[in-house]
Amino acid sequence: MTFYVVARLDQLPEDRGTRVQVGTEAVLLIRTGNQVQAYQADCPHAGAPLEQGAVYQGQLICPWHKGAFACDSGQLCEPPPLANLKRYRVDIRHDDRVWVADQPMADPVVPRPADPRRFVVIGAGAAGAAAVATLRAEGLGNNLTWIDKEVQPAYDRTALSKYVLAGEMPPSEVPPLLEPEFYREADVQLLQAEVLRLDPGRRQILLADGQCLDYDAALLATGAEPRLPAIEGADLPGVFMLRSRADAARLLEQARPGKRVAIIGDSFIGLEAASALRKRGLMVHLIGRHQVPLQRQLGERIGSAVRALHEQHGVIYYAGCEARALVGEGQVQQVVLDNDQRIAVDLVLFGTGVSPATTFVEGLELAEDGSLKADASLAVADGLWAAGDIVSYPCDGRSQRIEHWRVAQQQGRLAACNMLGEQLSFSVVPFFWTYFYDQTFEVLGHARRWNQIVFEGEPEQYRFIALLCFNEQVESVVACEYPRAMAVLSQRMQRPLSRSEALELIQRTPE
């Protein structure tokens, strides 16, 4: 191990990290007063340059997806990353020069008392992978079973509509949620299997191959399934839904440049798919029931800017209508709208939402949308928890279900802690991001009510930050090209935030 001098103490700001090169290693320095910590410079989730993020209230926040790490230890605080930061030794010598070692430190081993209970996690999407990583980090191993029906589970499903359909990433190269080292080192029992029935009363799980598993603590993280509308012709060849690598691969076999595709649904997934397939060179028809997409979530002005962005890139937009039927001889050939207009197509992709995958669970009351009703700890029965798209949980005096990737990961982590005996309540500020034509839109919060929007910048120029407020209270924030301000706000919004304080924070956080 060799130490290199990389900076003077007075050269290091305290509101962000500083990237330096230590031999062959890219390292991030975090200064707190006269103390300096050194960590890997790129986020372990997607490789974001962490110096472009922010340091706020003792946490280092990733600029891209708002993962958070403790400044004093590098430990993971918030996903989407599922691993701690690698840490490097630092020596500040008498001349205030900062010296850093060129090899990361070994991870500390924290012994945990043996736990004889049998743990099961069902589902290997965002919530399931986060739960397993958390349980494994706490020393749980050979009494943990992880069940999923996919051959290659635990991958970043968000890449499918953003990058895979655009041809920028093969389906087989979608990033895994857990690094290969996890599987080599972990003693978790992995089962590729389909769950036919779960009996919470008996704490038993029946698999399709006839195997029956008993559990002491289990997590349901089966996610949701694409919802196919009940319209004529939906079963024709050439009609697709998008939920898995296999779905993407089947679609790409036919989605060749020059083909005509109709995307039914102006949800985030539908809009992302439209952007990706236009990049791939297809002629895209987007059919949405709303005049302005995403107006309920983002407001009319931002929604109009999103629609304009798609139209500028050649998407043919059919607003305020729905598909009534799909017709064709042996292959879908036309989409018939409810206004009797007909669109000639070669392919159809449904982006019309999902339904919770809960039909195998016995004896539990379901919410109206088919989700499992959980308490604040995400428990749905004794010894049974749920996380992700399948769960409704109490928030602000009402039950809500949020279909966000990062929320699912946060729920998986919290549920895992509660499976181990903690008594945590789930209460976070949701964050998600979407991506069209190289423009990233970020959203913080889940505004159920708002009566004004305050803008910094111009949505039509795709550089702005917008505060969705109910009177003076910030309910949600939407931004494009404001990653550091959104990083700070992702933590500050854990407490009530006024419009004036939010604006002050934005102005104090240069990009």
What's the CATH code of the domain at 34?
2.102.10.10
Domain closes at, from 350, 365, 386: 350
Q: How far is CA 78 from the centre of its chain?
A: 11
- The pLDDT-based confidence of 180 (bands split at 50, 70, 90) is confident
As a whole number, mean pLDDT of residues 37-51 equals: 96
Count CB neighbours of 507 within 10 A.
10
Count CB neighbours of 41 within 10 A.
23
Residue 232 resides in a domain: no
**Same-domain pairing of 200 and 243:** no
Q: What's the CA gap between 484 and 479, in Å, rounded?
A: 11
Report the pLDDT value the prediction gives residue 110, as an integer from 0 to 100: 66
- Residues paired with 120 in a beta bridge: 145, 218
The CATH number of the domain holding residue 481 is 3.30.390.30
Exposed e or buried b per residue across 380-406, where buried means at least 16 C-beta atoms within 10 angstroms of its C-beta? bbeebbbbbbbbbbebeeeeebbbbbb
**Same-domain pairing of 448 and 396:** no
How many structural domains compose the chain?
4
As a whole number, mean pLDDT of residues 9-27 equals: 95
**Same-domain pairing of 217 and 359:** yes
- The answer to whether residue 396 scores a pLDDT higher than 90 is no
**Residue appearing with tokens 């209230």:** 57
Report the pLDDT value the prediction gives residue 511, as an integer from 0 to 100: 85
Residue 464: domain span: 438-507
pTM: 0.92
Q: Measured at the alpha carbon of residue 173, what is the angle toward residues 262 and 406, in degrees to the nearest 5?
A: 75
Q: Which of 99-108, 158-167, 183-192 has the lowest mean pLDDT?
A: 183-192
Nearest CA to 198 out of 354, 373, 359 is that of 359
- The answer to whether residue 422 scores a pLDDT higher than 70 is yes
**Same-domain pairing of 246 and 320:** yes
Q: Which of 66-70, 381-385, 398-402 has the lowest mean pLDDT?
A: 398-402
Give the helix/strand (H/E) hosting 381.
strand 379-381
* 278-302 tens-digit pLDDT: 999 999 999 999 999 999 889 999 9
Where does 234-386 have alpha helices with state H? Answer: 245-254, 268-280, 295-298, 300-312
Mean pLDDT (the chain) is 94
**Same-domain pairing of 346 and 370:** no
- The answer to whether residue 64 scores a pLDDT higher than 80 is yes
**Same-domain pairing of 218 and 365:** yes
DSSP output for 93-113: -TTSEEEEEEEEPPPPP----
Residue 370 resides in a domain: yes
Report the pLDDT value the prediction gives residue 226, as an integer from 0 to 100: 83
Residue 430 resides in a domain: no
| One-letter identity of residue 266 | D
**Same-domain pairing of 187 and 278:** no
**Same-domain pairing of 215 and 244:** no
Domain closes at, from 322, 350, 378: 350
Contact 105, 89 (CB under 8 A): yes
Contact 334, 342 (CB under 8 A): yes
Where does 213-339 have alpha helices with state H? Answer: 245-254, 268-280, 295-298, 300-312
**Same-domain pairing of 22 and 84:** yes
The CATH number of the domain holding residue 325 is 3.50.50.60
Residue 109 resides in a domain: no
- pLDDT more than 70, % of the chain: 99
* 427-440 tens-digit pLDDT: 889 999 999 998 99
* Dihedral angle, C-alpha 349, 350, 351, 356, nearest 10 °: -130
As a whole number, mean pLDDT of residues 486-497 equals: 95
Residue 111 resides in a domain: no
Most confident of 131-145, 219-233, 456-470: 456-470
**Same-domain pairing of 411 and 454:** no
- The pLDDT-based confidence of 342 (bands split at 50, 70, 90) is very high
Domain closes at, from 419, 447, 464: 419
- The answer to whether residue 450 scores a pLDDT higher than 70 is yes
Residue 308 is encoded by which pair of tokens? 């304009």
- The answer to whether residue 361 scores a pLDDT higher than 70 is yes
Q: What's the CA gap between 227 and 186, in Å, rounded?
A: 35
Residue 425 resides in a domain: no
Residue 426 resides in a domain: no
Report the pLDDT value the prediction gives residue 95, as an integer from 0 to 100: 85
Residue 112 resides in a domain: no
Edge-to-edge strands, sheet with 439-445? 431-436, 439-445, 473-480, 463-470, 452-458
- The pLDDT-based confidence of 448 (bands split at 50, 70, 90) is confident
**Same-domain pairing of 310 and 359:** no
* 254-281 tens-digit pLDDT: 999 999 999 999 999 999 999 999 999 9
**Same-domain pairing of 161 and 201:** yes
* 102-143 tens-digit pLDDT: 999 998 776 667 788 999 999 999 999 999 999 988 878 678
